Chains A and B, each alone.
Chain A
Amino acid sequence: MSAVATRGRVDSPPERPRRTGGRRFRISENVAGYLFLSPWLVGLFVIVIGPMIASLYLSFTEYNPLTTPTWIGLDNYVRLFSDDPRYIASLKVTLVYVVVSVPLQLAFALFLAMVLDKGLRGLSFYRSVYYLPSLLGSSVAIAILWRRVFSGDGLVNSFLGVFGVEGRSWISEPATAVYTLVALSVWTFGAPMVIFLAGLRQIPDMYYEAAAVDGAGRVRRFFAITVPLLTPVIFFNLILQMIGAFQAFTPAFVVSDGTGGPVDSTLFYTLYLYQEGFASFRMGYASAMAWVLFVVIALFTALNFAGSKYWVFYGDER
């Protein structure tokens, strides 16, 4: 936003020689530029920044959406951390989900990217096939499918049955329900995989050749060459997937019928937020939750950036 405005000013210093009509043309060109920008600009203000400011205000109110908000100061925020065990439970569930699912998903994506990078025939076909789950993963249909796959008489148990292992209803057992959602997230590894693939392609073959000549084995080459050179891409994927995991909603909503059950074991942060705002008519409280989530995500991202200088290696550094 500010970058655009600055450029506009720099573009029209008076001392620059101009041909007739140039100034008018510049202005109308700027207007055209802004107009082209306007769908995004309008979207940003009307459906992002505006609602964000509104929700910040609402987070200091008691707001039943059927009536009008009343100012209650910090009460919502105080209640979040002092008087709402379900909120704390939802935080825990979400943290477990983020901490378990993100590394697993990245590891899986990297593994498949490496397999596909081996110059497989029909690579673009496999790439598309492996990317498919990412397109479908957050859809309602897949979440319903997941319910079936992990239910008592579902696919997973039939498979385990082959080995004589008696499964349980994974999705309706409080101890395992959240891990079925972790599995769903790992399964949608396509997006990071494609980015990893691109990153792997950037690593010059000569490094590997040189290492091979020096007698480095596969594992050694992976840890000494691939991983260090790939760290910027890993970091990028990590940030993206982490933010996405904090905000996960659809799978838990569909798999648990919107309840976060069994007994709150899949009560993701956003799901609880939604329940409070829309089912329990506490939109002010839900807004406070949204802002806390915003701060939490910002914090985690900042921590990651701070930590990144110890392990992320950019090619131009020594």
Chain B
Amino acid sequence: MTTFAESATSFISSRPNSALRARAWSTFESVGLPTTTDEVWRYAPLSELDLDRYAVPATPTLTPQSDFAVALGALAATVVRVLDGFLVDIGEPVEGVTVDLNPDLTTLDGDDPLERYASDAFALANVALCPATVVVTVAAGTNVDGPIVIVHSANASASFPRTHLVLERGANATVVEYYEGGANAMVAPVSEYRVADNASLRLVTYQRLDPTAWHVARTTGLLERDGRLSQAVLGMGAHYDRSRNDADLRATGAENELRTTFFGSGAQVHDFRTHQFHRAPRTRSTLLSKGAVADTSRSVYTGLIEIEKGAKRTDARQTNHNLLLSPDAHADSVPNLDIRENDVVCAHASSVGPLNALQRWYLESRGVTRSDAERLMIQGFFLEMLDALPPALAGLVEGDVALALASVPVSA
């Protein structure tokens, strides 16, 4: 039986850029997996994580995609398929959109990824073990009709998808990243999104992995002048679901809207980390995190708004609402502010509590049972995230969310 390290070493030696990968791997080994004594990993069930249960695949395992992925694709402008991190289908050609594989492992800024991800073990593993970077570029001034769908299927026991989305100056696009599969697997994606001057990216990430999966994701938005990133992250699946979503608002007028939602059942843990970094004047960020935990599941939301000196007239808002659906469920909310400029508007609010009783009564007085009313309202957290999508596609995801929630006993 091969260990995870053996499979990694063999993978690295077979790929381009093996020197950089080997450096990333040895940094990963010296950094080591985090432990729960590390505050930012405090709630992760790390004692259950045994890397030797996983092996890095040399090639993707081909399997048919799910009916849902097929239906999603049918409503898309184009579908890019990624299997176990390997790009297997670049989709139909769309005017102004290119899909490439880049063996280079630098960041979108052209920096050394070992510096960017210096102490992040899973991101370092991604640098070492991703097959290549999947790069989707929307050319300057292009307005893409219909969403670009990226279907990530995890069939191997470990996969490290690496994605760069680039919207050039004035480009406009909607992208859906969908993750499925992942039974008894670890999926550790790293994504970066560059939104150039006056460009606009609406992004929906729908994580619907198997309930046995470990999902550790990291995304970074790089926002240029008047660039706009509207990002929705829906965490439904996985045993441990961690999503770190950062935005670097580096030029005047950049705007980031981030909405995250999750539903926890069984012994799931949803762990959301955000960092909105305002480095330029008149930048705006709004963050809304809304989720529900049932059974013995738990959620963690930790968000940092950081405003650099000189980022005058920045407007940053952060809101987190958690819903407890069982006495054994638990939600933690830790908003943080680090502000080094006076001329700013900054607000944060968080709450842990039950559903709005009057809204629930209103639905009941229409003849809906209490449990259905609660289910509809919790489902509503997710539905509110989908307004970037065309109605047909939103409807499809709504149906899938409803299906996922239907099997869970809900009682607020």
- Whether chains A and B associate is no
Instruction: Give the interface of B toward A (CB within 8 A).
Output: none
